[in-house]
């Protein structure tokens, strides 16, 4: 990418560079504080309301735990499906030529532009009772997974695409000329190169799926213990005036998600290091 | 220099004329979303009256509980129109609405409705009364009472109807347990429930009469049955302390009980609370109609009902939700 190369170019004056670095650090810290850290701190603050005992009690009520488990399992499944399907889509978009490719490429981002509540409504009309295909997954866990897949589609595709574009085909050709089969080339050459990008996409998809509300609220049917996900459960607590309970569940959900994201990040770093040796 | 003076005078004149145009001032109306069209009509009618001439309105619509929380958190409001009393009470506790907000001749209630059954065209499952909802194979759609304040009307209508039929408190609670075994989905709001029912899910939808009329107006293929015993839904309007200081807000508040305003509510399917406005519209008066404040049926108002039935952890509904999972 030529533009980013221009941006990365160091200014000749080392003092200026240091000053610029400090400024960037200041902006980054200030920005992160205002946009991310303060709201998160406020959330934790409002969860502390009745003390640690009450926090733990609220966060681990049976219906809260059931919603939490469902949310995390579905988000993990969603991330896995995305890893496979997203990589395949990116591959087709980069390596294949077909008419209308530009349009397909643009369509990938559409789920982001569509208000999620509209997405939920559309999915319900298509794959609910009375849908045109006779497929009815509405108000089941499968239906919720479907909605999550819809809103997380772009993450892996967009993470893998640029890496695939930059990937030198000469390496693959060399491997093929040395007698590696198509599968071998993919497994030994392409996949290791793509893995960091896939993992970034997977982490984003997972995080988004954990927090998704709009697309899920209609199609899930919100049956406690069966199809109620955490975001909807938290919404219910808020509507019932139990703000502290809502915050408690949110904090627990965020803590687990943070753990998962850190895990994915660590795995990625480990793989990259492993690779370069 | 001269030019500057001229422009300054011009600005002053403009400012003066601007204040002249809004001599009635502006009124902030914060309301729940269903009666939006009615309020739109009422406002333009009000602006044509002597009292409302020159008054401008800032209107905000959303879910009742959300609106109450927004006002409690500082959203400007002179007049609040919410879907149930506890949402107004939230503002009373915050000191934003005076304690005696309901002290007018209509107890602060601007429109009524009742809990009804919406069924498929021709009523193929022959649903007439509360007992029919718990017959084998019947699917009932009602919103989740924890996400939708309005769904609480449905639950209490079911409970109250049992008490009205002479059942004990224990039997009426047992009926709710049975009823929720027939609820396959619990949408987050009344409107979402209507959408899901219109998609073809369920045999009967528990909702308010005005929603049922709205569905008919929108051409959804349904009809509705009013059970003999059902709950009267009363929707409150209150002037906030800032509204009490504005003559325009007070005039508009009063205007809500005029025949014109009440007719606008009736056109949207609400039951007007002023007799003259109901002319020409047939609203079935069920013989067993009761209100949420009925002491005889053991309801005793929203504060008691919310504590006993809808406490998020140990309310009766929380226990019912836990029981249906297993």
- Print the SS3 string covering B7-41: HHHHHHHHHHHHHHHCCCCEEEEEEECCCHHHHHH
pLDDT of residue B249: 96
Residue of B nearest to A228 (CA): B186
To the nearest whole angstrom, how far is the Cα of A129 from the nearest Cα of chain B? Answer: 6
What is the distance between the alpha carbons of residues B242 and A85, in angstroms, rounded to a whole number? 57
Domain ranges of chain A: 1-47, 50-276
Of the candidate ranges A34-38, A192-196, A254-258, B12-16, the one whose mean pLDDT is the lowest: B12-16
B25-111+233-278: CATH class: alpha beta
Cα A94 from Cα A97, distance rounded (Å): 8
- Tell me whether residues A222 and B313 touch, CB distance under 8 A: no
**% of chain B at pLDDT higher than 90:** 71
A127, B197, B324 from A133: Cα distances, Å: 7, 19, 31
Q: Is the pLDDT of residue A34 over 60?
A: yes
Domain B25-111+233-278 and domain B113-232+286-324, same fold? Reply is yes
* pLDDT per residue as tens digits for the range A223-256: 889 999 999 999 988 888 788 889 999 999 999 9
The residue behind tokens 């049917």 is: A221
- The position carrying tokens 């005029």 is B258
Q: Is A66 on the interface with B (CB under 8 A)?
A: yes
Q: What average pLDDT does chain B have?
A: 89
pLDDT, tens only, B98-152: 999 998 889 999 999 999 999 999 999 999 999 999 999 999 999 999 888 778 9
CATH superfamily of A50-276: MetI-like (1.10.3720.10)
Say whether residue B192 is in contact with chain A using an 8 A CB cutoff.
yes
Chain A: give the shortest CA distance to residue B276, in Å.
37
pLDDT band at residue A275 under the 50/70/90 scheme = low
When comparing pLDDT for B266 and B34, which is higher?
A: B266
pLDDT at A6 over 80: no
Tens digits of per-residue pLDDT, A169-189?
888 888 888 888 888 888 888
- pLDDT for the residue B222: 85
CB-nearest partner of B321 from A63, A125, A138: A63
- For residue A209, the distance in angstroms to the closest alpha carbon of chain B comes to 19
Interface ipTM above 0.90: no
Contact of A229 with chain B, judged by CB distance below 8 Å, is answered with no
The rounded percent of chain B whose pLDDT value lies above 70 is: 92
Nearest to A239 among B146, B199, B322 (CB): B146
Quick check: B45 and B264 in contact, CB under 8 A?
yes
Whether chain A has a CB inside 8 Å of the CB on B314: the answer is: no
**Subunit contact A66:B325, Cβ cutoff 8 A:** yes
The pLDDT value recorded for residue B23 is 54
Instruction: Please state the CATH superfamily assignment of the domain spanning residues B113-232+286-324 in this structure.
Output: Periplasmic binding protein-like II (3.40.190.10)
What are the two backbone dihedrals, phi and then psi, of residue B223, each rounded to the nearest 5 degrees? -140, 165
Average pLDDT over residues B251-267: 95
Task: Find the closest chain B residue to A63 by CA distance.
Answer: B322
* A277, pLDDT greater than 50: no
Q: How confident is the model at residue A156 (pLDDT cuts 50, 70, 90)?
A: very high
Cα distance between residue B245 and residue A144, in whole Å: 50
pLDDT band at B326 (very low <50, low <70, confident <90, very high): low
A61, A221, A240 ranked by CB distance to B185: nearest: A221
Domain boundaries, chain B: 25-111+233-278, 113-232+286-324
Whole-model pTM: value is 0.80
- Give the pLDDT confidence score for residue B295 in this predicted structure: 94
Residues 6+ apart with CB under 8 A from B246: B25, B27, B78
Question: What are the backbone dihedrals phi and psi of residue B54, each rounded to the nearest 5 degrees, phi first?
Answer: 85, 0
Is a pLDDT exceeding 90 seen at residue A14?
A: no
What's residue B48's pLDDT? 94
- Does A60 touch chain B if contact means CB atoms closer than 8 Å? no
Whole-number Å distance between alpha carbons of B148 and B323? 20
- In angstroms, the separation between the Cα of residue B83 and the nearest Cα of chain A is 13
The pLDDT of B189-202, averaged and rounded, is: 90
CB-nearest to B65 from A58, A121, A239 is A239
| Shortest distance, CA A257 to any CA of chain B (angstroms) | 24
Interface with B, mutate which of A222, A228, A237, A238 (most B CBs under 10 A): A222
Sign (positive or negative) of CA dihedral B271, B274, B275, B276: negative
């Amino acid at each position: 990418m030529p533009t980013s190369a221009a941006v990365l170019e160091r200014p000749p004056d080392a003092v200026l560079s240091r000053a610029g670095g400090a400024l960037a650090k200041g902006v980054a810290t200030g920005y992160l504080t205002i946009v991310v850290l303060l709201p998160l701190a406020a959330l934790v603050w409002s969860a502390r309301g009745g003390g640690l005992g009450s926090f733990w009690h609220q966060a681990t009520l049976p219906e809260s735990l059931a919603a939490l488990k469902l949310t995390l399992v579905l988000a993990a499944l969603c991330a896995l499906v995305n890893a496979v399907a997203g990589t395949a889509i990116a591959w087709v978009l980069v390596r294949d030529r077909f008419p209308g490719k530009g349009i397909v490429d643009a369509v990938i981002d559409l789920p982001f532009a569509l208000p999620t509540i509209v997405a939920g409504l559309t999915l319900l009309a298509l794959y609910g009772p009375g849908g045109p295909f006779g497929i009815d997954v509405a108000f089941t866990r499968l239906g919720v997974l479907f909605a999550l897949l819809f809103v997380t589609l772009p993450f892996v595709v967009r993470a893998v695409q640029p890496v695939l574009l930059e990937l030198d085909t000469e390496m693959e050709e060399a491997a093929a000329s040395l007698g590696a089969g198509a599968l071998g080339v993919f497994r030994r050459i392409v996949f290791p190169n793509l893995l960091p990008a896939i993992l970034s996409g997977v982490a984003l998809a997972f995080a988004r799926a954990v927090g998704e509300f709009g697309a899920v609220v209609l199609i899930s049917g919100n049956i406690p213990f069966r199809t109620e996900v955490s975001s909807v459960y938290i919404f219910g607590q808020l509507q019932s005036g139990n703000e502290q309970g809502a915050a408690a569940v949110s904090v627990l959900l965020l803590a687990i998600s943070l753990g998962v994201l850190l895990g994915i990040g660590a795995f990625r770093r480990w793989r990259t290091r492993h690779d370069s040796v | 220099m001269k030019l500057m003076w001229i422009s300054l005078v011009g600005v002053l004149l403009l400012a003066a004329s601007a204040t002249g145009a809004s001599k009635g001032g502006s009124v902030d109306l914060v309301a729940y979303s269903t009666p939006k069209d009615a309020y739109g009509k009422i406002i333009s009618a009000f602006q044509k009256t002597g009292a409302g001439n020159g008054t401008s309105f800032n209107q905000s619509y959303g879910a009742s509980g959300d609106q109450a929380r927004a006002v409690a958190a500082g959203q400007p409001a002179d007049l609040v129109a919410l879907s149930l009393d506890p949402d107004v009470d939230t503002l009373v506790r915050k000191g934003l609405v005076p304690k005696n907000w309901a002290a007018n001749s209509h107890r602060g209630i601007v429109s009524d409705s009742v809990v009804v059954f919406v069924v498929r065209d021709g009523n193929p499952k022959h649903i007439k009364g509360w007992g029919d909802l718990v017959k084998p194979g019947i699917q009932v759609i009602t919103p989740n009472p924890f996400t939708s304040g309005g769904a609480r009307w449905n639950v209490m209508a079911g409970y109250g109807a049992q008490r009205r039929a002479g059942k004990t408190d224990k039997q009426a609670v047992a009926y709710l347990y049975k009823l929720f075994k027939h609820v396959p989905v619990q949408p987050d709001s009344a409107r979402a429930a209507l959408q899901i029912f219109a998609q073809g899910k369920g045999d009967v939808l528990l909702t308010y009469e005005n929603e049922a009329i709205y569905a008919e107006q929108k051409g959804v293929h349904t009809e509705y049955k009013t059970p003999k015993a059902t709950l009267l839904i009363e929707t409150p309007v209150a002037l906030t302390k800032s509204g009490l200081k504005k003559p325009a807000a007070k005039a508009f508040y009063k205007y809500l009980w005029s025949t014109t305003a009440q007719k606008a509510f009736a056109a949207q399917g609400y039951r007007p609370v002023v007799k003259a406005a109901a002319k020409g519209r047939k609203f079935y008066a069920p013989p067993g109609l009761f209100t949420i404040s009925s002491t005889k049926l053991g309801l005793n108002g929203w504060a008691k009902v919310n504590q006993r039935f809808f406490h998020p952890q140990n309310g009766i509904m929380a226990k019912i939700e836990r029981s249906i999972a297993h």
